[in-house]
Copies of this chain bind each other. A is one copy, B any other.
Amino acid sequence: MAKPRAAETRKRTRIQQEKEDRILDAALDVFSVHGFRGSTIDQIAKAAGMSKPNLLYYFRTKEAIHRLLIGRLLDTWLDPLREMSADGDPLSEICSYIRRKLEMARDYPREGRLFTNEILRGAPHIQEEMSDLKSLVDEKAKIMRGWMKDGRLAKCDPHHLIFSIWATTQHYADFDVQVRAVLGPAKSGEGRFEDAARYLEKLFLDGLKP
């Protein structure tokens, strides 16, 4: 055959596997920093070590790459929240949730920035998922309200509680350069995540009153 597109090929070959992975990795690098419109196929191709037409042999369009990355991301992004269980101890459940989100900010900062880029742009590609998100959050908020009624959690607005967890943990991915600039070279090692975890646990449990 003259020119089969990679995706139209009978089976996924070894080369396809490899190259597609390399492209997605490179694209995540580029998209997470420059956003969709700010990224070029050339940039991604170069980062993946191949020519532009070669890249386009594996993915028809720039958007196809982006869509795939966003899809993958959304798949796992909410897992930590899903894991929060009504049966556990309220404060431990919340602390575990914070810890898991912070680990994600540490281990997958590019995915975090990709997500933030998308939200900043007004979430044009993920309207549907936003409504799934609402259902999930409402469900967990209900659990929290139950805990509050039982006197096992301080009374407060559960939606804003969840926002504050998202915000404080995601901050270490999105504002990484600012965090490093402020902490200075000495404290910018991986240890900053342990400091953050310690601080956040204290904040969420006891607040700042002496």
Residues of A within 8 A of B (CB): 33-38, 91, 94, 113, 116-117, 119-123, 130-131, 133-134, 137, 148, 151-157, 159-164, 166-168, 170-172, 174-175, 177-179, 181-184, 187, 195-196, 198-200, 202-210
Contact = CB atoms under 8 A, between A and B. Distances in A.
A206 B154 CA distance: 9
B168 A164 contact: yes
Contacts of A205: 207-209
A161 to B, nearest CB: 7
Nearest to A187: B159
Contact of A199 (B123, B134, B164): B164
A93 B163 CA distance: 23
Contacts of A196: 160, 163
A163 B102 CA distance: 14
A131 B204 contact: no
B38 A177 contact: no
Contact of A130 (B36, B116, B181, B206): B181
Contact of A116 (B120, B148, B154): B120
Nearest to A197: B160
Contact of A206 (B119, B160, B207): B207
